[in-house]
Structure 1
Amino acid sequence: MPMRLEGRTALVTGATSNIGRAIAEAFAAEGARVVVSGRSAERGREVVDAVSARGGRADFVRADLDGSAAASRALAEEATRVLGGRVDILVNNAGVYPGDTTLATDEQTFDRVYAVNVKAPFFLTAAIAPAMARAGGGAIVNLGSWIARLGIPVGALYSSTKGAMETLTRAWAAEFGPQGVRVNAISPGVVLPAAAGTEHPAEAMMKGTPANRMGTPDAIANAAVYLAADESSFVHGTVLDVDGGRTTVAVIAG
């Protein structure tokens, strides 16, 4: 059976843990050559080694995406160089989650969260999408969040940044789609790596959903493969909910 991303190149930000790592590993398993990007060289090497052990191809490029256009451009340039001159797939996954209430959020935190979660992917996309268009096309996958559309009493700052990314997804689809660059997003539910024998406090937020459990990173990775592959060639500007039904089905308290 042919691999779905054979011969393509991909840059995944925030790829040294959790969802980003799962996406990088899934892309490599489907034949893509992947740049694993993040701040920790040690964790980056772990991901690259895991990919290599399964016969995939990956390289680590360290990046501290602080929101500056310079940092995003530097990552775009280095990833393009490492990948042999082109990036076919970009996954804007890197982000920070302070989890505070509005009253507990200071201005410095506000600026940092918007810098990492919105400005960094904005300028990274600005650096990569035109090159994709010149090369004949590409795919961009953004990461949103279920709490961008279903409010919870903490995390207003984070949820607003994810709402911004979902809006940018539609705007970029309109801007870059006619040039051959498909832009879509994934909205994960409560997703954490599986931990045997323990129950995470966040598990409560998925009680009563159709899935009735938290998701694992591989569920998001599978969706990312779909949005990056040819099967989704007619999909533009959509936000794909991968949340166990959290935002689409009424949850009845038990």
Structure 2
Amino acid sequence: MSTRLEGRTALVTGATSNIGRAVAEAFAAQGAHVAVSGRSAERGREVVEGIRARGGRADFVAADLDGSAAASRALAEQATAVLGGRVDILVNNAGIYPGDTTAATDEKTFDEVYAVNVKAPFFLTAAIAPAMAEAGSGAIINLGSWIARLGIPIGALYSSTKGAMETLTRAWAAEFGPHGVRVNAISPGVVLTSEPGRENRAGAMMNGTPAGRTGTPREIADAAVYLAGDEATFVHGVVLDVDGGRTTAAVIAG
């Protein structure tokens, strides 16, 4: 086990699957004590047991981040208690993705997506960042998305929430950075777990990129380890593109 995050505590939301799970596992492998947060206790136990089996420290904290300030405050309090009284690293990863067109999106869906993807992390950060600032250190990592800056014909609602998180990243860096709290974001490209058939459907979205393939949750987790660790002490308010070059370069064949 490596020790880049030894002695630190971390809360990762949406940590029972995909990117969130990979981040929680990577943090624990680097020595952090991780609060694995999510709605499913069964999946949470599976993640925690896997981390512990590999010699890491982790505990599950159930949370249904519905956008209410109360739910975010409750998670902050429970995670702080589980982690021994402090949260050194917060990863705002939990989110939902409806892929409908604009005309097919109803008001209930609109409100739900903004509640989960923007309001919940907003109030969770509001509950955790002041204690980090008082301690004079901390790291907050938000999850953006490549489609926040490269338009595609579906998913306008989701992409707008990720644009909001990237804007909040810069605002929070200005607000909390002078008090020792680094706030940054990761903007993943198309990232898939290894499920049969999914690569064929989504892989086309990465055609014409330098990577020429979809990414893996672990590749995003490695970027999160960097932003959480001491190697990134001079990094504030950035959105780190980990997207195979999707938003920065086009490969022209022939």
Question: Residue 186 of structure 1: CA displacement?
Answer: 0.1
Deviations 1:146-187 (A, max 9, x none): 000000000000000000000000000000000110000000
Q: What is aligned with 1:208?
A: 208
Pairs within 5 Å for 1:1-254:
3-195=3-195, 199-252=199-252
| Number of residue-to-residue matches in the alignment | 254
Q: What SS is found at the alignment partner of 1:58?
A: strand
Question: Residue 196 of structure 1: CA displacement?
Answer: 6.3
TM-score (norm 2): 0.97
Deviations 1:73-114 (A, max 9, x none): 000000000000000000000000011100000000000000
Deviations 1:27-69 (A, max 9, x none): 0000000000000000000000110111000000000000000
Question: Residue 199 of structure 1: CA displacement?
Answer: 3.2
Which portions of structure 1, spanning 4 or more consecutive aligned residues, are displaced by more than 6 angstroms?
A: none
RMSD of aligned residue pairs (Cα, Å): 1.4
Greater CA drift, 215-224 or 127-136: 127-136
CA contact (8 A) 2:8 2:88 kept: yes
User: Which ranges in structure 1 are unaligned for 5 or more consecutive residues?
Assistant: none
Q: Which amino acid aligns with 2:45?
A: R
Partner Cα distance (2:225, 2:133) in 1: 20
Partner Cα distance (2:252, 2:102) in 1: 28
Partner Cα distance (1:88, 1:224) in 2: 14
Q: What SS is found at the alignment partner of 2:199?
A: coil
User: Which ranges in structure 2 are unaligned for 5 or more consecutive residues?
Assistant: none
TM-score (norm 1): 0.97
Partner Cα distance (2:241, 2:3) in 1: 25
Partner Cα distance (1:64, 1:158) in 2: 19
Partner Cα distance (1:2, 1:209) in 2: 32
Deviations 1:200-246 (A, max 9, x none): 31100001210000000000000000000000000000000000000
Q: Which amino acid aligns with 1:18?
A: N
CA contact (8 A) 2:190 2:215 kept: yes
CA contact (8 A) 2:146 2:241 kept: yes
Distance 1:86 1:100, change over 3 A: same
